[in-house]
Chain A
Amino acid sequence: MPRARPRAATPILLRDIDEPGLATLEVYERRGGYQAMRKALAMDQAAVVAELDASGLRGRGGAGFPAGRKAAFLPQGDMDRYLVCNADESEPGTFKDRELMAKNPHMLIEGIVIAAHAAGASRAFIYIRGEYEQQARVLDAALAEAAAAGYIGERILGGSFSCSVVLHRGAGAYICGEETGLLDSLEGKRGNPRLKPPFPAVQGLYQGPTLINNVETLSTMPHIIAMGGAEYAKLGVSGSTGTKVVSVSGHVQRPGNYEIELGTPSREIIFDLAGGPPEGRQVKFWFPGGSSSPVLTAADLDVPYDFDSLAKAGTMLGSGAIIVVDDSTPVLDVALKLAKFYRHESCGKCTPCREGTNWTVRMLERIDAGEATPMDLDIMASVQEHIIGNCLCVLGDAMAMPIGSMIAKFRDEFEAHMHSRQLAGAL
């Protein structure tokens, strides 16, 4: 039996997640599924966008861009418009979309139809990462059920709106989670990011106006339509409305997905929900929004978990993935792991990222090998500064920001590590 759990006062996305058979249309409809879609399709396009706008929903994929405003950016007129669901969840530490898709695929499909209506798109694509084969199968089955019920495809619910939904599997590349890299990949190319502007809303998939949203963002839309945008906006805090599924992992006793109301103190998430670090250990530092976010330390545990508070603390909410690192782990180990990941995943298109990630790995290895000199830390910090803002996409920044924050906050430890390795080498 599921036990009582501390979660958001009003869980929305995970409300029914423990319901047996939720992935089937029958159970989903019994729980009120596809009612919001009926309501949305009876409204006109502008009214749906207005509800999304009123909800204050900010994108849950990483950038936190207001979802309503994004939908409104698409130019009007007689042209093919597309909706793309970004299900290429690959930000280290993030596993919320996996759970949402595997347990509640119809909620995503319902959200896709609502968003497609808002964007005036007649074709929708779900770009799911290739490693999620089990989740892709669940989605395939759910799409077949939805098509048979007339919820997707031609003339949905017998009305005038049509929208096909195609599930597209990726093949293993972190960069395809970046929206323009994703679009190139979906067009059958190498997943290299594109120069922006033009933004995808103007010129995206097949050069047509394209709305791209994350799985969690789309899964939230049925609830916004059902309860009304203004009602949804009452959840959370000003500037960060609603609830968010937070993936907590690393050195915590109960890693997992927890739905919280935005603005909840981070300490409550890490300690009350996820159980805090193992007995006898202390939080050393933590990533608040996936491995790309600058790290915070134990002193920052009381920061409210929302977009603006985290930005004020010098970091970001990102994809909503908290990775906790306790005092048993050297900061250099984490930095090296992180840098190697981004080096591997850099697409190689922009020099600062391709070279900068490689240099950072090699300098960290030098420190670890006792071959570094004190000025190397400054050089490494300056390499990070030269990556940020100088590439087509933010993959390089995603390494530079956390590495830079580690050097700034744990400089003593880097220096001590360097000296102890030098001494070990001299003996």
Chain B
Amino acid sequence: MTRVTRFAHGSRVPGWDQAADLDKDPAGVPDPALVEVPAKLRAEIEAAMALYPDRRSAALPALAAAQRVHGWCSPEAIEQVACVMRLTPAYLSSVATFYDMFELEPVGPHSVYVCTNISCSLRGADALYDAIEQAAGDDPQINLRHFECLGACDIAPMVSVDQVYYGPLELADAQRLVDDLQAGREPIPDLALSRLRCADPKANA
């Protein structure tokens, strides 16, 4: 009989199959005297908390700020956010694991999100992903991910590199994208979404 893997995909429930350490005490709200938080990060989180009637609303902006400092939502990053926001690390972990843009493992500094949803895949996004994967090889600087519809089907197939949109890409652009990133240049600038001045695709031709 084949074993059914439940939640094998479990993107929203990572760690569901890892046993909890029942002997360990749950971590409380970190003691401010014991946790060192970079001054800039602390200021950013406090500014975010001030924007809302309830400081907890700043969880997403605070985690995003910590991720920019640490590169990913490391236990250290989460502890620092917990310390400033006066929340438990467990609570913030539960939030961080829900959202795709929070990295739960160390990753390369350059994010390359390839949209492989319907509209992009109809125009060759899956082959594009493979081409970028091949071009990038095992470059630890590049964090290549499939991503769900990024809301730019007008330039399909498209990628979001370090949160900037580019498209439409030909297969040959995959190598160029990786070369540009590795050389520290702005990648494929001629394909940036911002080059399109007009809403009407015909007017941009």
A residues within 8 Å of B by Cβ?
A: 1-3, 5, 7, 14, 17-18, 20, 80, 89-95, 97-99, 103, 123, 129-134, 166, 168-174, 185-191, 206, 247, 249-251, 254-258, 287, 291, 321, 323, 325, 329, 333-334, 337-338, 341, 343-348, 358, 361
Most chain A beta-carbon contacts within 10 A, residue among B51, B154, B163: B154
Q: How far is the CA of A116 from the CA of B51 in the complex (A)?
A: 18
Q: What chain A residues lie within 8 Å of B149 (beta carbons)?
A: 90-94, 291, 341
Indicate if B164 sits at the interface (CB-CB under 8 A): yes
Taking the closest CB of chain A, its distance from the CB of B31, in whole angstroms, is 22
Taking the closest CB of chain A, its distance from the CB of B39, in whole angstroms, is 23
> Contact string, B50-83, partner A, CB cutoff 8 A, digits 1/0?
0111101111110110000000000000000000
Identify 7 residue pairs between A and B in the complex whose beta-carbon atoms are under 8 Å apart, listed by A's number: A3-B202, A93-B119, A98-B151, A130-B64, A131-B101, A171-B99, A249-B154
In chain B, positions 108-153 with a C-beta closer than 8 Å to chain A are 113, 116-119, 121-123, 147-153
Q: How far is the CA of A96 from the CA of B9 in the complex (A)?
A: 30
- Are the C-beta atoms of A166 and B193 separated by less than 8 Å? no
- Are the C-beta atoms of A131 and B160 separated by less than 8 Å? yes
- Are the C-beta atoms of B199 and A18 separated by less than 8 Å? yes
- Are the C-beta atoms of A92 and B148 separated by less than 8 Å? yes
User: For residue A99, which residue of chain B has the nearest CB?
Assistant: B199
Q: How far is the CA of A133 from the CA of B154 in the complex (A)?
A: 18
Most chain A beta-carbon contacts within 10 A, residue among B7, B12, B149: B149
Taking the closest CB of chain A, its distance from the CB of B93, in whole angstroms, is 11
Q: What chain B residues lie within 8 Å of A173 (beta carbons)?
A: 98-100
Q: How far is the CA of A358 from the CA of B147 in the complex (A)?
A: 18
- Are the C-beta atoms of B118 and A337 separated by less than 8 Å? yes
User: For residue B162, which residue of chain A has the nearest CB?
Assistant: A133
- Are the C-beta atoms of B153 and A255 separated by less than 8 Å? yes
A254 contacts which of B57, B165, B201 (Cβ < 8 Å)? B201
Q: How far is the CA of A1 from the CA of B203 in the complex (A)?
A: 7
- Are the C-beta atoms of A250 and B153 separated by less than 8 Å? yes
- Are the C-beta atoms of B12 and A346 separated by less than 8 Å? yes
Indicate if B95 sits at the interface (CB-CB under 8 A): yes
Taking the closest CB of chain A, its distance from the CB of B47, in whole angstroms, is 12
Taking the closest CB of chain B, its distance from the CB of A358, in whole angstroms, is 7
- Are the C-beta atoms of A169 and B61 separated by less than 8 Å? yes
Given contacts A2-B203, A18-B203, A174-B148, contact A93 B153 (CB under 8 A): yes
> Contact string, B183-205, partner A, CB cutoff 8 A, digits 1/0?
00000000001100111111100
Indicate if B178 sits at the interface (CB-CB under 8 A): no
Counting chain B residues whose Cβ lies within 8 A of the other chain, the interface size class is: 35 or more
User: For residue A186, which residue of chain B has the nearest CB?
Assistant: B57
Q: How far is the CA of A341 from the CA of B203 in the complex (A)?
A: 33
Given contacts A103-B199, A133-B164, A166-B52, contact A190 B98 (CB under 8 A): yes
Q: How far is the CA of A168 from the CA of B58 in the complex (A)?
A: 9
Q: How far is the CA of A97 from the CA of B12 in the complex (A)?
A: 26
A-B pairs with beta carbons under 8 A, tally = 185
Taking the closest CB of chain B, its distance from the CB of A289, in whole angstroms, is 13
Indicate if B156 sits at the interface (CB-CB under 8 A): yes
- Are the C-beta atoms of A348 and B153 separated by less than 8 Å? no
Q: What chain A residues lie within 8 Å of B61 (beta carbons)?
A: 168-169
- Are the C-beta atoms of B119 and A323 separated by less than 8 Å? yes
- Are the C-beta atoms of B99 and A323 separated by less than 8 Å? no
Taking the closest CB of chain B, its distance from the CB of A43, in whole angstroms, is 28
- Are the C-beta atoms of B57 and A172 separated by less than 8 Å? no
A169 contacts which of B13, B64, B156 (Cβ < 8 Å)? B64
- Are the C-beta atoms of A130 and B99 separated by less than 8 Å? yes
Sample of 13 further A-B pairs with CB below 8 A, known A17-B199, A323-B119: A3-B202, A18-B197, A89-B151, A95-B153, A95-B154, A134-B165, A190-B95, A256-B200, A256-B202, A257-B154, A341-B149, A347-B98, A358-B7
Taking the closest CB of chain A, its distance from the CB of B197, in whole angstroms, is 7
Q: What chain B residues lie within 8 Å of A343 (beta carbons)?
A: 9
Q: What chain B residues lie within 8 Å of A347 (beta carbons)?
A: 12, 98
Taking the closest CB of chain A, its distance from the CB of B113, in whole angstroms, is 7
> Contact string, B9-31, partner A, CB cutoff 8 A, digits 1/0?
11111000000000000000000
Taking the closest CB of chain A, its distance from the CB of B188, in whole angstroms, is 15
Q: How far is the CA of A329 from the CA of B202 in the complex (A)?
A: 26
Taking the closest CB of chain B, its distance from the CB of A195, in whole angstroms, is 19
Given contacts A171-B63, A255-B154, contact A337 B98 (CB under 8 A): no
Q: What chain A residues lie within 8 Å of B147 (beta carbons)?
A: 131, 172
- Are the C-beta atoms of A249 and B60 separated by less than 8 Å? no
